[in-house]
């Protein structure tokens, strides 16, 4: 149901609610990523890494707490990384964008879960240059879980399977050849798995657009941050931005492009 069906107040209320839900999800996933990387337990109260003070619920409100504390621990003054604030705002905006595009319904829920998993992959890739396989599996499971909410589930399953297999295999072969020619690893295994999983969700035209946009974003990011990522380059964030862009906006662009080709075909 598009948001235009609702009164403006209700629509803004829903957008604010999903923004906050996104910020809460970001806060949780950030915390999990950091704890698992440090080898700490997943459960337990959050604490300041500087003085060990256990954070009160008021200090744990996504977005607002970081702003209210001006990015510093209330007790020892240790700086709290802007990573928390930025991730929470990005997740919130990402959730709101999905609701704006799809309105209230199963599609919005399916893509919200997908992009939560992809955003988790981005956090892991940026921190460790690796992505746990369980995240790829979650993204694939989400596709299967929501199949029944689509008008023709078996057609979607067949198309998804072949797009995934086709793009996964094509990228794998290209990377193997490039690795041999250049004598170095050109693309990580996680990137190839990522592309195969996204093939479940996008059709071949959207996949091509996604790869073009992903490479353009990746080139832009690598130019800006070359100093920080010397030994490896996390490509999944660039690809995820491209997937988000394609899920929300690919169809009008592809139609416009095919429209340009139309006179040439006749
Ligand atoms: Zn502290």
Half-sphere exposure of 95 (CA within 13 A, CB side): 22
144-190: pLDDT as tens digits: 999 999 999 999 999 999 999 999 999 999 999 999 998 888 888 89
Name residues whose C-beta falls within 8 Å of residue 97's C-beta, 6 or more positions apart in sequence.
244, 248
Q: Distance, CA 51 to ligand 1 centroid (Å)?
A: 4
25 lies in a domain? yes
Q: Distance, CA 55 to ligand 1 centroid (Å)?
A: 9
Looking at the structure, tell me whether residues 98 and 6 fall in a common domain: yes
Q: How far apart are CA 113 and CA 110, in angstroms?
A: 5
Q: Is the full-model pTM beyond 0.85?
A: yes
15 lies in a domain? yes
Looking at the structure, tell me whether residues 208 and 85 fall in a common domain: no
Looking at the structure, tell me whether residues 95 and 41 fall in a common domain: yes
Residue ranges making up the domain that contains 163: 132-266
pLDDT at 86: 93
Q: Distance, CA 81 to ligand 1 centroid (Å)?
A: 12
Q: Distance, CA 123 to ligand 1 centroid (Å)?
A: 24
Looking at the structure, tell me whether residues 94 and 175 fall in a common domain: no
Looking at the structure, tell me whether residues 141 and 86 fall in a common domain: no
Q: Distance, CA 210 to ligand 1 centroid (Å)?
A: 42
168 lies in a domain? yes
Q: Distance, CA 24 to ligand 1 centroid (Å)?
A: 21
Q: How far apart are CA 140 and CA 163, in angstroms?
A: 13
Q: Distance, CA 23 to ligand 1 centroid (Å)?
A: 22
pLDDT at 31: 86
pLDDT at 266: 65
Q: Distance, CA 72 to ligand 1 centroid (Å)?
A: 8
Q: Write down how long the chain is.
A: 266
Looking at the structure, tell me whether residues 138 and 252 fall in a common domain: yes
Return the C-alpha torsion angle 194, 197, 201, 205, nearest 10: 60
What total number of domains does the chain contain? 2
Q: Distance, CA 71 to ligand 1 centroid (Å)?
A: 11
Looking at the structure, tell me whether residues 92 and 142 fall in a common domain: no
Looking at the structure, tell me whether residues 69 and 141 fall in a common domain: no
193-216: pLDDT as tens digits: 999 999 999 999 999 999 999 999
Q: Distance, CA 256 to ligand 1 centroid (Å)?
A: 54
Residue of 125, 254, 128, 121 lying closest to 198 (CA atoms): 121
Q: Which residues of the chain have pLDDT under 50?
A: none
pLDDT at 257: 81
């Amino acid at each position: 149901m598009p948001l235009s069906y609702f009164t403006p107040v209700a629509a803004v209320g829903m957008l604010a609610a999903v923004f906050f839900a996104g910020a809460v999800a970001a806060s949780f996933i950030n915390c999990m990523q950091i704890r698992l990387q440090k080898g700490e337990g997943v459960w337990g109260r959050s604490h300041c890494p500087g003085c060990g003070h256990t954070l009160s619920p008021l200090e744990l409100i996504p977005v607002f707490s970081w702003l209210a504390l001006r990015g510093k621990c209330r007790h020892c003054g240790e700086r709290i990384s802007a990573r928390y604030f930025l991730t929470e705002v990005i997740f919130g905006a990402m959730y709101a964008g999905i609701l704006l595009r799809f309105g209230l319904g199963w599609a919005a829920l399916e893509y919200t879960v997908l992009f939560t998993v992809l955003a988790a992959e981005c956090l892991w890739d940026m921190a460790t240059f690796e992505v746990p396989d369980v995240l790829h599996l979650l993204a694939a499971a989400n596709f299967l879980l929501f199949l029944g909410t689509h008008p023709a589930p078996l057609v979607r399953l067949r198309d998804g399977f072949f797009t995934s297999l086709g793009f996964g295999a094509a990228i794998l072969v290209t990377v193997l050849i490039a690795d041999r020619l250049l004598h170095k690893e050109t693309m990580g295994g996680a990137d190839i798995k990522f592309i195969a999983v996204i093939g479940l969700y996008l059709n071949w035209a959207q996949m091509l657009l996604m790869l073009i946009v992903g490479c353009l974003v990746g080139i832009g990011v690598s130019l800006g941050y070359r100093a920080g990522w010397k030994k490896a380059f996390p490509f999944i964030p660039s690809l995820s931005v491209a997937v988000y862009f394609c899920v929300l906006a690919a169809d009008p662009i592809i139609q416009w492009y095919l429209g340009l080709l139309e006179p040439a075909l006749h």
